[in-house]
Structure 1
Amino acid sequence: MTEHFDALETRAPAEREAALMARLPAQIALAQARASAYAHSLQGIDAATITSRAALATLPVVRKGELLAQQLQQPPFGGFATVGWGPDCARVFASPGPIHEPEAPQRDYWRMARALHAAGFRRGMLVHNSFSYHFTPAGSMLESGAHALGCTVFPAGTGQTELQLQALATLRPQAYVGTPSFLRILLERAAESGQACESLRHAAVSGEAFPSSLRDALAAQGIDAYQIYATADLGVIAYETAARAGLVVDEELIVELVHPGSGDPVPDGEVGEVVVTNFNPTYPLIRYGTGDLSRVLPGSSPCGRTNMRLAGWLGRADQAAKVRGMFVHPGQIAAILRRFGEISRARLVIDNPDGKDRMVLHCEAGEPTNGLEGAVTDALRESTKLRAEVRWQTPGTLPNDGKLIEDLRHYN
């Protein structure tokens, strides 16, 4: 259905598996030798014996909470990176948590070119990049992949909608990268002002859910949009293709699905947490738990790519939630409770009326003092980088179930 990025995408599954397993011992040995966190957690492990998925499954899973704790004790990377400040680390990012990620000065460090190619991006295109260029690595991820394909990039970043519309009208890019919700906003604002965006024909979207209704609405405006599944720690994990049949796993990763809260693989077809092992020499993550739930689809994609396919995002293995491209963690809500003693219990409820993500922090407090609502609102926005509404509840109203984040979003 489309031309492929390279021959790796169409090789026999057994050939791919053998190649990945042949590379695995060296990656584990590198992590043990050059990343102190793995020197500790994998102490006594003979890397030469880890040559199968069964052997890999005996190693511990590293989850985001552990990564954050390690980074707090041993900044900046918690002993998981093999580089420090200097020419081998071109940039460092701080994702919400904060969790720090290194970026090495190499072509397509985040392996984004393959996913963009599957989305129809080609050499000579101008790409409008509306991902953030500060703190988090999303802007750099997409820019480096586009450059690797031979594209020119307009670094729009987030916000400033009117200025972005001016740039779209003047520069007439053929492609867009960013969240799907912001692309919808740009198109709606353009229509309201009578501005045409007919130059846009391709889009690669990430950072939030991409419902089929929005995909069809974009297609009706002549924009062929594809989803990319990526994280700030790992770069690309999987990507959509023209087959529209799940997300194809990237060629440079080993992906497992495990029972949430454990490292035990689930049977084929069952929902489990996505756990990834990469071959990045700068940031060698071995069995890194993403916290995302998915399942493996049977067989190969009709597009001819033969790698494992994921069904897409099916929820979170923990209470953390992704809202408008940013993760919100239970620890951030707990920090609000610690900071404001007047609040006895709180729960962040996330929903999406009219298809737009909304956050409401429900707080139990006897008699909220003057200015408390504004202070809590500001503290939550400072912590999460997102807007949220605060609503007061009578003490004893919220369930006593330990849940700090409740995700009520529905996608069609």
Structure 2
Amino acid sequence: MEAKMSMRAATNTPAQMVSMASFNVRPKFNVFKPTPVWKSITFGAPLVIQAQKSEIKEVAAEVSEKDALKVKEWEVGMLQDEVAASQGIRIRRRPPTGPPLHYVGPFEFRIQNEGNTPRNILEEIVWHKDVEVAQMKEKMPLPSLKRALDNAPPVRDFLGALKAANARTGLPGLIAEVKKASPSRGVLRENFDPVEIAKAYEKGGAACLSVLTDQKYFQGGFENLEKIRNSGVQCPLLCKEFVIDAWQIYYARTKGADAILLVAAILPDLDIRYMTKICKLLGLTALVEVHDEKEMDRVLGIEGIELIGINNRNLETFEVDISNTRNLLQGERWQKIQEKGIIVVGESGLFTPSDIAYVQEAGVKAVLVGESIVKQSDPTKGITELFGKDISC
């Protein structure tokens, strides 16, 4: 979306802006017929006229307030988009829209019509997620969600489990993904039983599990996360969701999540800082995912990051190149990672023992794998084949 901005004198206060915006408001209300002149001399006429004026003012004020709220919402959205663009984030959080009717403010935007078509699959997912989360929040507001935390199962140490597996086997700790389908590959496993798959993963030596909770694009769901947690599986669980709102973190915790995925490609730095603090408040581990050098630099500049995932999949083309992991773990970046004690997870494109060895040599201490093992008739055996050896306890 291209936007041309022309500065207008930014001297108006917010109150003046709202007042100016209300000038063009044309409220809909029932207009009283003018009182005939001969009746104006009666005793009750002044009261009738005064009532009419009062009603007009009330309706106009109500419409102006609603219009001003739309203006503010749009301005906040535009500011968020500007901040995201300045940090190299190419995924738009919402479809491009023009300013509300009667908009008057310090900036005047003239928007080129780009259409409301997502530019790639991740953007499509994010736009859908924005609507989906808004609907879920209406059904369960945050205060109700926070009360539900009292009944959530205890948090398990996701990061600790990865470190322990790495120390035990000398190989990257495995986060095995419970995933039925993906937008790029379609259905990966027709005979899909999330609990059965989770137990097979645990038996095969997985340190942690990743559970897809997006329904539309991955045919997952929070019910899968909840079923696995209640099944007796001991592996800590990562809620793999497209998080755009802190509300989702609380919701994941009520369903038994021990960790949450935060994608740098869709979240500005301020959101990542805020959300990682919420995770720590709830005892959750935040896995912050990056795809390129700019995202890695951004995330390394944020205090408190403990776990970074490098996704080898190009978000625009969906092509996979595992050399991306090595490229992002060199020079000053690698020094910062070591200084901060950050654990790095290799993601996507890992199918063979040589793939695992390659990313391990690059510096990863954990790997997140889904497709290559979930498609196996026996996922337990699939893990052994992936690592070239039995890594079960």
| TM-score, normalised via structure 2 length | 0.28
Structure having the higher helix fraction is 2
Q: Which has the higher contact order (CA 8 A, sep 6+)?
A: 2
Structure having the higher strand fraction is 1
| TM-score, normalised via structure 1 length | 0.27
Q: Which structure would you say has the larger Rg?
A: 2
